[in-house]
């Protein structure tokens, strides 16, 4: 069992500390607002003297700025920081240089579960940075989640994490639009739910005409977007009808309108005869 310090005791950091304690590790905790440590101290955690007190520091804060604010000008010689906070990939790369400049090593991570999922089956974290250092702490970190190592580039873990969040937030916001629109016609969210679930399942499935996550990945890989069966032009017109349906229902249409403009741009650029995947080419060239 190893020694680990958790820096940041929001819902995530607190759940991490609890999980590591339950797995038998010697855990110290530090938080800007010291009182948040109390429930963990009662469960056997130790109070870290500073945010840099420990050889393995697992950081979970609102952003990387919080790490700078917490560590201040402390030296980090020989220490390993595993930062599981959100920020932009460039800020993660800059943080790796900052930590190295103080004598330490930064491992970056994007953890793919909410607090109750930490330490549970199915939990995983995208990690990037020096693999040999990550490997040295794998046993401790595996108490939190499975390790999914994505490469040396410290920004990459966050880019994977953000790729997943983009899918998460945009698809679930569409689900909210769909439920709200149907509600205006008296359809309850729970009546619609099985249909929404069917769509989510089919889009992520491995085969069938609706297996679009896979279809688009394969088309993008080949940079070929066949549109004989369902052209982008047809879909841009259909999406225009969706926007009209939302407007008729008195709903907010900012996001669907932005999507419509994106589709129309691909058509205006002469790719209306191609398939939906041709929108990727518009996304790549803003
Ligand atoms: P928050 O993102 O709200 O972060 C709260 C923590 O950040 C607290 O410990 C807070 O300290 C600290 N903090 C904020 N600003 C500063 C600062 N300037 N200096 C020092 N500490 C600061 O809480 P979560 O626990 O929910 O999330 C932590 C990270 O995990 C985030 O980056 C989030 O994106 C990520 N994440 C969250 C998930 C979730 O479902 N909650 C899921 C996956 C990832 P204080 O108590 O003093 O305010």
Q: Are the beta carbons of 110 and 82 closer than 8 angstroms?
A: no
Would you write out the chain's pLDDT as a tens digit for each of its 286 residues? 889 999 999 999 999 999 999 999 999 999 999 999 999 999 999 999 999 999 999 999 999 999 999 999 999 999 999 999 999 999 999 999 999 999 999 999 999 999 999 999 999 999 999 999 999 999 999 999 999 999 999 999 999 999 999 999 999 999 999 999 999 999 999 999 999 999 999 999 999 999 999 999 999 999 999 999 999 999 999 999 999 999 999 999 999 999 999 999 999 999 999 999 999 999 998 8
Ligand 1 atom nearest the C-alpha of 51 is 20
Query: What is the greatest pairwise CA distance in the chain?
Result: 66
Q: How far is the CA of 4 from the centre of ligand 1 (A)?
A: 18
Ligand 1 atom nearest the C-alpha of 12 is 25
Q: How far is the CA of 137 from the centre of ligand 1 (A)?
A: 23
Per-residue pLDDT reduced to its tens digit, 131-183: 999 999 999 999 999 999 999 999 999 999 999 999 999 999 999 999 999 99
Q: Tell me the pairing of strands 80-83 and 56-59.
A: parallel
Instruction: List the structure tokens of 94.
Output: 């800059």
Q: How far is the CA of 85 from the centre of ligand 1 (A)?
A: 7
Q: Tell me the pairing of strands 105-111 and 80-83.
A: parallel
- May I ask the CATH architecture of the domain 3-153? 3-Layer(aba) Sandwich (3.40)
Domains in the chain: boundaries: 3-153, 161-284
- Regarding the beta carbon of 109 and ligand 1, being less than 6 Å apart is answered no
- Regarding the beta carbon of 69 and ligand 1, being less than 6 Å apart is answered yes
Q: How far is the CA of 33 from the centre of ligand 1 (A)?
A: 12
CB atoms within 10 A of CB 9: 26
Helices vs. strands in the chain: H and E counts, helices first:
12, 8
Alpha helices in 80-130 (DSSP H): 89-101
CA 33/CA 128 separation, integer angstroms: 29
Total residue length of the chain: 286
Ligand 1 atom nearest the C-alpha of 112 is 43
For residues 36, 42, 46, 52, the Cα torsion angle rounded to the nearest 10 degrees is -10
CA 214/CA 203 separation, integer angstroms: 8
Q: Are the beta carbons of 32 and 57 closer than 8 angstroms?
A: no
Q: What is the CATH number of domain 161-284?
A: 1.10.1040.10
Ligand 1 atom nearest the C-alpha of 10 is 25
- Regarding the beta carbon of 233 and ligand 1, being less than 6 Å apart is answered no
Measured CA angle at 16 (ends 36, 71), to 5 deg: 60
């Amino acid at each position: 069992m190893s020694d680990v310090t958790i820096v940041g005791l929001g819902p995530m950091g607190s759940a991490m500390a609890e999980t590591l304690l339950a797995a038998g590790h010697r855990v110290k905790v530090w938080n800007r607002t010291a009182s948040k440590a109390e429930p963990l101290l009662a469960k056997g955690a130790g109070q870290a003297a500073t945010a840099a007190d420990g050889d393995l520091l697992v950081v979970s804060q609102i952003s990387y700025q919080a790490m700078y604010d917490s560590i201040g000008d402390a030296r980090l010689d020989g220490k390993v920081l595993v930062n599981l906070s959100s920020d932009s990939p460039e800020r993660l790369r800059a943080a790796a240089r900052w930590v190295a400049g103080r004598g330490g090593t930064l491992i970056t991570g994007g953890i793919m579960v909410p607090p109750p999922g930490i330490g549970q089956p199915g939990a995983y974290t995208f990690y990037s940075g020096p693999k040999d250092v990550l490997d040295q702490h794998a046993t401790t970190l595996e108490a939190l989640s499975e390790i999914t190592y994505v490469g040396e580039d410290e920004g990459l873990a966050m880019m994977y994490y953000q790729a997943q969040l983009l899918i998460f937030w945009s698809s679930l916001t569409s689900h909210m639009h769909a439920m709200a629109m149907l509600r205006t016609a008296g359809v309850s969210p729970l009546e619609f739910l099985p249909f929404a679930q069917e769509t989510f399942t089919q889009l992520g499935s491995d085969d069938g005409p609706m297996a679009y996550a896979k279809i688009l990945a394969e088309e993008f890989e080949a940079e070929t977007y066949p549109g004989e069966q369902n052209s982008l032009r047809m879909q841009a017109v259909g999406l225009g009808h969706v926007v009209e349906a939302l407007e008729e229902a008195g709903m907010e249409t900012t996001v669907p309108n932005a999507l419509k403009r994106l589709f129309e741009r691909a058509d205006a650029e002469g790719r209306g005869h191609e398939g939906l995947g041709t929108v990727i080419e518009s996304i790549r060239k803003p």
